[in-house]
Amino acid sequence: MLDNDAVRILSYTHREREDPMIKLAPSILSADFARLGEEVADVTAGGADYIHFDVMDGVFVPNLSIGIPVLKSLRKATDAFLDVHLMVTRPQRYVGAFCKAGADLVTVHLEAAEPQDLFAAIEAIRAEGKQVGMALKPKTPAEAIVPYLPLLDLALVMTVEPGFGGQSFMADQLPKIRALRGMIDAQSLSCEIEVDGGIDPDTAPLVKEAGAEVLVAGSAVFKKEDRRAAMEAIRNA
C-alpha cells in the first residue's frame, strides 16, 4: 500500500501527459429498454466509443438490473464495443458467462470479492480473450487497486454510489482520479481510466483534467433528443 506522500507524488505525473482522446460510453441504464437495439444503434451512429452495460444483483448494490440474456440479445444487434460493469457480489462466478455472452470488456468491483477471487476473475476474463476492468466505490482509496493495476485494461472510478442512475457527481473523487493517473503513468501501463457517475458537460472537464479517458454518461446522453450533439458537448466541454 502506498503512503500519502507516494500517492501525492504520483498524482502530479499526469500533468506532463499529452491530452488523451476522450472516449464516450453511454450507459444503457438510461435507455428505453423497449427499443434497446435502436437506442444503441442511435448512440453508436452518433459517435459512442463504448456501450456501458450495468449489471446489478440487488446484493452488492441495492438495485436489480439486467444480465446475461439481455447481453446476448444486444450482442446480436450491434457490433459496438460492449463495456460490461458487474456490480455483483463474488463476480468470479459469472465473468466467464458474460464474456461468452458477448462482452468485450468485463469490469469487476474490488470490493465485491476476496483478493484471491478477484485474481481468479481476472484470469478467467483473460482466458476468454476479453479485456479486464476493476471498479472502485467512492469510499475505496486509489491505492487499494495497486496489486491489480498491471493486470488491467481499465480502472473505473465511481463518482456516485453504485446502484442507481441520475445521482449527483461527487467532486471529492477527483483526487482519486489524479492518483490513479499518476500510478498508471509512473509504471507506463496501458490502462485506461473510466469515470462513471454524474457526467455531463459541466463535470466532464473536471474528470478530464484529472486524467480520465473514458466517460460514462447515462441521462446526459439518452435523455437528449440529439444524442450526437449531447455526446459532443460532453467530449468537447
> Of the listed 54, 57, 83, 153, which one is catalytic?
54
Cα separation of 191 and 26, whole Å?
A: 20
Question: What is the maximum alpha-carbon separation in the chain?
Answer: 50
User: Following CA atoms 60, 66, 69, 72 in sequence, which dihedral angle do they give, to the nearest 10 degrees?
Assistant: -100
Q: Rounded CA gap, 74 and 12, in Å?
A: 40
> For residues 138 and 37, what is the distance between their CA atoms, to the nearest angstrom?
32
How many secondary structure helices (H) and strands (E) does the chain include? 9, 8
Cell numbers for 209, please give them. 483534467
6: phi then psi, degrees, rounded to nearest 5: -65, -45
Whether residue 117 lies in the annotated active site: no
The yes-or-no answer on residue 57 being catalytic is: no
**Strand 81-87 to 105-109 pairing:** parallel
Pick the catalytic residue: 19, 185, 196, 202? 196
The DSSP bridge partners found for residue 156 are 135, 194
Query: Which residues are the active-site residues?
Result: 54, 196
